[in-house]
Amino acid sequence: MKPKFKLLKYNKVGSASSILLHAHELAGHFDIEELKPELDKYSIHTEYCARKRYFSSKYVKKYKEILAAHYPATSEDKLAKLWVNENWAKQFAGFVIDLAESAGSPPTYIEIHPPFKEYTSIDTFLLHYKLFSNAMHSKYPQVQILIENRSGSLSSKKFLISTCEDLKILSEKIDKQSSDLKIALDIPQIQTAYKLQNREIEKVLDMCKGFIHNVMSVHLWGRQNNKAHIGNLDSYFASHGEKQKFLNKFGELFSDNITRLMVIEVNSSEHTKDIIDDLKTVVEFVK
């Protein structure tokens, strides 16, 4: 039996196939003014610190802890710091709730991102996360919260949750604490964290086995000329045989009777369809 996935709409790019979309992933960073979901269910992709922000969202301006949490800047745009203290976590919940209210309906999913590792630890992050989770579930009892592994930004600073070793430690602590937090596994970002060559992306799958039970979402995207979010899976492999080996291993890794989310993060309907068609050889998409 093939593993099952629910497909999310990425930005303004549809599935370009006959597959019904489950939910709409919406940007929810600190410069977003409002959410406009195009489907009944939606996911908020919160601040991820890939680039500097102006902190221009009307919803963020009332939260002093968030406004103050950034690296020194010589211009108006700043690189945000996440999960810096308890008050930040509470105010971040307020910001996300305000943003969700602009959509006119409750979010189904919220995707958060790790802080930079130089000022915190996984244990401290989880303490701060619990405050955020309590506030979110008080407002939206059914919402599912996931954390995406991160690697790479305009800064050289390292993220707290970046490698498979980081994810395994996090997963063990999630289990020990019976935390509601789940993992959104971005496979290409794992590849980036280990500085693997394109064709070595298959190695990532072998490294994920120890925490796969806590993975509730998977992100995939192609690369072209070292540019992210462009291209299909062919951009990783020298031959069809190599690609099929990756796909077979992908199907085996997730064959545990858990239905997960899938986000195909490419800015092209054509490449999205290509990746879907490849995945359909080893997984089943459901609404």
**Chain segment 119-132, per-residue pLDDT in tens:** 999 999 999 999 99
Task: Work out the number of other CB atoms within 10 angstroms of the CB of residue 54.
Answer: 12
Query: What pLDDT score does 17 carry?
Result: 59
Q: How many CA atoms lie within 13 A of 257 on its CB side?
A: 0
Q: Which residue has the tokens 């994810």?
A: 167
What φ, ψ does residue 138 adopt, rounded to 5°?
A: -65, -35
CATH number at residue 191: 3.20.20
> Which of helix, strand or coil describes residue 103?
coil
- The DSSP output letter for 245 is H
Question: What pTM did the predictor assign?
Answer: 0.95
What φ, ψ does residue 144 adopt, rounded to 5°?
A: -105, 130
> Dihedral sign, CA of 209, 257, 185, 232?
positive
Cα-Cα-Cα-Cα dihedral of 139, 130, 114, 119, to 10°?
Answer: 130
Query: What pLDDT score does 224 carry?
Result: 78
- The DSSP output letter for 63 is -
Q: Which domain holds residue 111?
A: 4-285
Q: Which residue has the tokens 């998409």?
A: 285
Q: How many CA atoms lie within 13 A of 233 on its CB side?
A: 25
The residue type at 44: I
Cα-Cα-Cα-Cα dihedral of 283, 287, 149, 71, to 10°?
Answer: 150
Give pLDDT tens digits along the chain (287 positions). 899 999 999 976 765 555 789 999 999 999 999 999 999 999 999 999 998 999 999 999 999 999 999 998 877 889 999 999 999 999 999 999 999 999 999 999 999 999 999 999 999 999 999 999 999 999 999 999 999 999 987 778 899 999 999 999 999 999 999 999 999 999 999 999 999 888 788 889 999 999 999 999 999 998 877 777 888 999 898 899 999 999 999 999 999 999 999 999 998 889 999 999 999 999 999 98
Query: What pLDDT score does 247 carry?
Result: 97
Nearest-angstrom CA–CA distance, 113 and 276: 26
Our count of domains for the chain comes to 1
Q: How many CA atoms lie within 13 A of 22 on its CB side?
A: 18
